[in-house]
Structures are given as C-alpha cells and as structure tokens.
Amino acid sequence: MTTSAAERFNGKVVLITGASSGIGEEMALQLSRAGARLALAARRTDRLEQLHGQILAAGGTEPLIIACDVTRDEDPSRAVAETIARWGRLDIVIANAGFGVVGAFAQLSLEDYRRQFETNVFGVLRTLQAALPAVLESHGQLVLLGSVAGWTASPGTSPYAMSKFAVRALANAITPELALQGVRVTLISPGFVESDIRRVDNQGRLHAEAAEPIPRWLVMARSEAVRTMLHAIARGQREVIITGHGKLFVFLERFFPWVLRAAARRMAATRGGYRTEPKAE
C-alpha cells in the first residue's frame, strides 16, 4: 500500500464481513497496519480470535470481533450497531463475505442457487442496507466484492457467476444514486486470488485439506491483490479488476466475446471447464 493510500485509512472505522480468511483476513491485516479501527465480522469466530491476536501482536489497535452470518437478517444490523457502539461511527463497509456454488447445471438444484444468492447477493444487500444510514452520516464508502465471473461466465459456474453478475449490477445502479449523497461505491472484481474460496464446498463448508484446483502460476498472492484493492478503495475508484488474466477476460468479454464463447464450448465439451466441489472425508 502506498503512503497516500495508508493515510486514507488512518483512523477510519472499517467493517469487514467474511474477515476470517482469505481476502477479508488480509484486508484486516493491511488496514490495521494503516491505522484503521476495525470491526471484523464472520461466522467462524475462532478464526477471528486468531486474527485478533495477530493484529495485537503487530501493534495494531484492538479490533472488534463480531459473530455474523450474512444470511440472517438480523446479523448485519447487529454488526453495524456493535461497530457504532464501539467506535462511534462507521466510515467504510467492505461486503466481502461469499463463497462459490459450482457444478453442471443438470446436476444442481434450485436450492443450490438459493443458497448461493442468500450469501453472495442478499448477504451483500443486508450488509449495505444495514450500514447505509451510518455511511451516509459519515459520507463514507461502500465496497462490494464482485468477481471477474461477474463479467464472463464459464461452464459449471452458473450459480456463482449469476450471483456476481447481480453484485456488479447492484454496484452499477447504486453508484450514481449514492454519489449524490456523498457516498462512494467501489466494486472489486478479482480473478484467481489466493484464498479458501476454492476449498469451500457447495454447502459453504471449508475443506482445508483440498488441493488448489487452479495452476499456481495463475493465482495472485493475496497480499499483492489486497494492496491493489486497498489502493483502489483509497482512490474511490468505481471498479477495479484484479489480476492480469482477469483484465484479459474482461477485455475479451467487452470487445471479442466470441473468443470466450468458443473457449466455453470447448471447456464444456471436455467437461473440464468447471471444478467439482471439494469432497468431505
């Protein structure tokens, strides 16, 4: 993170959902080093307690730990209330909680799609709606974690891609609305970034022992990815595409979509275009 980006976060109150691992965890560590006052929300409070210890050991301000399941209507509202009770205000909300439901369309149920949308779409909505009054008051910022999958969908990823297309549509719609009220909106659209998301099955359960299905050379280190994300947030960018391959996919989708369609047909024909969910032991 550049000095100017770090200065943007010094003293700011930041609520992060899905902060127990991956991108959310790394955001917490880097924002703490930048002097932010953090409220860290996730279902896995044991992981949050470990992160709490890391932040304190590094000399950061003690973060607020909040048990929060974004699929429950009351949890994001409670997380916002606890944040304000602790810090007195709320400047930045990072709606990061999410996971991926994958598989061939013929093998998925309607419940699979509902489960995906409850976290990735309605979880984001619950978080933003709960936080909006406080962010309006602080003239703050809403940050949505999208994906390159919100630009281009590949075989075997229909629930996840649909959810991320919806998040991108939400960001595009509310950005001009909230700009009139002094609130910035930033959409972050990563490609393959080092995280646990590809080790989480269709029920939302983590399989830490599962192998990374993406070639290592294609996966960006999360520390590098998060530095880029935080720089974009500090600048108030409307959207940032993370990873070189992600930028390439978006470019092709915008200007040469037939290239991706042809690739998708080949992927589907070989049945290798989508990952299967990690298997429980």
CA distance 48 to 38: 12
Whether residue 173 is contained in a domain is answered as yes
| pLDDT of 268 | 84
Helix (H) or strand (E) holding 245: helix 244-255
Between 214 and 89, residue with greater pLDDT: 89
pTM of the model: 0.88
Whether residue 277 is contained in a domain is answered as no
State mean pLDDT over 219-224: 89
| pLDDT of 276 | 47
| pLDDT of 281 | 27
Whether residue 276 is contained in a domain is answered as no
State mean pLDDT over 90-110: 95
Confidence band of 204 (pLDDT split at 50, 70, 90): low
- Structure tokens belonging to residue 134: 């406080």
State mean pLDDT over 241-245: 93
What separation in angstroms does the CA of 277 have from each of 6, 29, 74, 157, 205? 38, 29, 29, 11, 10
Whether residue 12 is contained in a domain is answered as yes
| pLDDT reading at 208 higher than 70 | no
Whether residue 279 is contained in a domain is answered as no
| pLDDT of 269 | 79
| pLDDT of 207 | 45
Among 255, 277, 108, 256, smallest CA distance to 204 is for: 277
Whether residue 57 is contained in a domain is answered as yes
- Our count of domains for the chain comes to 1
Q: What is the 3-state secondary structure (H, E, C) of 65-133?
A: EEECCCCCCHHHHHHHHHHHHHHCCCCEEEECCCCCCCCCHHHCCHHHHHHHHHHHCHHHHHHHHHHHH
CATH of the domain at 217: 3.40.50.720
| pLDDT reading at 280 higher than 50 | no
Whether residue 278 is contained in a domain is answered as no
Supply the residues annotated as catalytic.
160
| pLDDT reading at 249 higher than 80 | yes
Which amino acid type is present at position 152? T
| pLDDT of 273 | 44
Domain that holds residue 227: 3-270
Whether residue 205 is contained in a domain is answered as yes
DSSP for 137-178?
HHT-EEEEE--GGGT---TT-HHHHHHHHHHHHHHHHHHHHH
Please name the residues in contact with 207: beta carbons below 8 A apart, sequence gap of 6 or more.
199, 200, 201, 278, 279, 280
Q: What is the pLDDT of residues 45-89, one digit of tens each?
A: 999 999 999 999 999 999 999 999 999 999 999 999 999 999 999
